[in-house]
Structure 1
Amino acid sequence: MIAYLIYLLLRGFHFFINLLPEGFALWLGRQLGRLVYHLDRGHQRVALQNLEIAFGQEKTKEEMRSIAKKTFQNLGMMTVEFFRIPKMNVITFKERVNIEGLEGALSLLEKKKGVLLLIGHFGNWELMGMMSRVIGNPIMVIAKPMKNNRWVDQFITKIRNAGGLEVISSIKAGRKVIQALSQNRIVGILIDQRAKRSEGVWADFFKRKAPTTPALAVLAMKTGAPVVPVFLIRNGFQKHRLIIKAPLELIRTGDIKRDVEANTQLFNDTLESMIRQYPDQWFWIHRRWERKRGTSHR
């Protein structure tokens, strides 16, 4: 009953936010982010703890608190933008988003091995799905199903589909991804959620070990598909930059286990570099780090 009520509230918010002019809707989203920062003490605490891990030796308490506040504001605006995706067209997207590096990325498809996108919960990662409509080719992404609320899960997936994405469940996704790459498609993989202890590679992230999914490295090594880092950065109130970087030079020594670990580290380093440039645009409210049993990683 509670799950369905949450779904109805989201539907109501979606309806309301799409009635408003875009500028006012974004302003409202930013104010909601500010409010949630003060009301949601749990996620505020997680954000500040994560910032202490990442920047405790580099930034003051006030600087880290400022980053946390801006993070919540960005998430509020991002939520508004996400719910408005179904009414966005390609022309509007191009007016809002300055796309950098698209030609180089599309030229990689000439190798007929597909392309793997390295993405994180950064800026407005959901808005990147609109690139499917820009290039006229549905990008595939892997998402964890919301097992505790199937109505919300279906609703969120429907919005993502409206942007042009093909969303597949993270459960047994490997075969589907390999098939998609064999069809020369583009597949995005998020690398910055804490992986299960039994499945993750313990790679450095801001000088502290973090269990990281090896999926991107395994798929890249197995298929030969290039790995292209992509980040959508908020660049003003209604503007964004979509930065499509050159493909990463992967490490291939022939030792599969070590290569997967080394490339997973490379991916973490790539994401960390962007976070250091735009610290208020990462998803600090996620518990990215945990302690490995019996070992300190400070």
Structure 2
Amino acid sequence: MATLLYYCILLPVSKLPLRIIYGISRVFYVLAYRVFGYRTKVVRTNIRASFPDWSEAEVDGQVEKFYRYFFDSVAESIKLFSMSEEESIERCRVVNPELIAPYAEANRSVMVVGAHYANWEIAALSFPLIFERQTVMGIYSPLKNEAMDTLVRENRQRTGVHLVSRRVVDEYYEEDPVRPSIDFFVADQSPSNHVWQKIHWTTFLNQTTGFLAGPERYAVRNNIPVFYMNLRIINRGHYAAELTPITLHPRETSPGAITEAFARTLEQEILRNPTPWLWTHRRWKRDVPEEVTQLLKEQSFVGPEYSR
């Protein structure tokens, strides 16, 4: 069924001009948002809690802006199934690629941390074409449907990105920790680990929030410089990625500093423009342990300890 859906619907639709796919997605916007209220309770709850000073009218306005952009991004993601390499680079450029160039010359890896902000899928497609001298590695979550997972994975890898399942990241670094690559992490997922001591806890968007500690752990263990990818919308369907150093010397940082810097940088970007963040994600779905609440009263964040 998944194969049929891909070859009979997704792939043919992706070959249409993007302006037409935008038109189709606008129909789904009306149905999903206006008619069926797809995840509107989650979106509204997240936005209201993140901006407690906003009026209901302001919350309503932001909810609508989010859904309009969300379905634009769905249209763009469908287009990616057949988007040419030239169009990929045109639609997502990197403002300052020269920051990474010296590491390619030195045969060193770098880590780029991003978020579910703007269309990160276009960035993943264009990065291997822009940074031709380095392998671009991306962490991904396998889909439950194996057939669709294979099709989506093959499509994502067609420009050269090397996908690594989140289940085997440890093995990836153990195999060859010094491979010259750009290791790309989308680092704002809600941690699945229930052991609170293994999670980085901080106050984020006015709420106690747990962050994945994995990217920092891999960066420190392998001494990989870390950059934040600030992905901004230039105009409809066009993006610019700007790389900002978080640390060039990860082993010299204190525990938790890298993850905390990522959280603060992302928070500032969301406050600047809340619309493109993935508000449908149930980011705060788990209860916060009492120990974390007490510790956060005493310090700005609570981070896990690990070997350095």
Superposition TM-score, scaled by structure 2 size: 0.83
Once the 2 structures are TM-superposed, how far is the Cα of residue 278 of structure 1 from its aligned partner? 2.0
Match of 1:100 among 74, 95, 104: 95
Residues 206-225 of structure 1: matches in 2 within 5 Å?
206-225=205-224
The residue type equivalent to 1:50 in the other structure is N
Q: Which residue of 2 aligns with 1:41?
A: 37
Corresponding residue number in structure 2 for 1:21: 17
Q: Which residue of 2 aligns with 1:73?
A: 68
Which residue matches 2:82?
Answer: 87
Q: Which residue of 1 aligns with 2:257?
A: 262
- In the TM superposition, 1:242-257 aligns within 5 A as 242-248=241-247
Q: 2:184 aligns with which of 185, 188, 196?
A: 188
Q: Judging changes above 3 Å, is the alpha-carbon distance between structure 1 residues 119 and 98 closer, same or farther for their aligned structure 2 residues?
A: same
Identity of aligned residues (%): 19
Q: Which runs of 5+ in 2 are unaligned?
A: 297-308
Deviation string 1:110-163 (CA, Å, 9 cap, x unpaired) is 4443010111111000011221122224411111222x3222222221221124
Instruction: Judge conservation of contact 2:247–2:258 (CA < 8 Å) in 1.
Output: no
C-alpha deviation, 1:108, in angstroms: 3.3
Q: CA deviation at 1:187?
A: 0.6
Are the counterparts in 2 of residues 27 and 77 from structure 1 also a CA contact under 8 Å?
no
Show structure 1 runs of 5+ residues with no match: none
What's the C-alpha RMSD, in Å, of the aligned pairs? 2.6
Q: Structure 1's 253 and 246: CA in aligned 2 closer, same or farther, altered over 3 A?
A: closer
Distance 1:108 1:69, change over 3 A: farther
* DSSP 3-state at the match of 1:260: coil
> What's the CA shift for 1:55?
0.9
Look up the equivalent residue of 1:105 and give its one-letter code: I
Equivalenced residues, count: 288
SS in 1 for 2:184: strand
Question: 1:234 is matched with which residue?
Answer: 233
- Measured at CA, do residues 250 and 212 of structure 1 come closer, stay the same or move farther in structure 2, by a change above 3 Å? farther
Q: SS where residue 72 of structure 1 aligns?
A: helix
What is the TM-score of this pair, normalised by structure 1? 0.85
Which residue of 1 is the match for residue 164 of structure 2? 168
Residues 16-61 of structure 1, C-alpha deviations (whole Å, 9 max, x = no match)? 422422222123224423432234535111111111121122x222
Aligned match of 2:47 in 40, 46, 51?
A: 51
Alignment of 1:105-124 (within 5 A): 105-124=100-119
Would the alpha carbon gap of residues 223 and 71 (structure 1) be closer, same or farther in structure 2, given more than 3 Å must change? same
Does structure 2 conserve the Cα–Cα contact (< 8 Å) formed by 1:181 and 1:187?
A: no
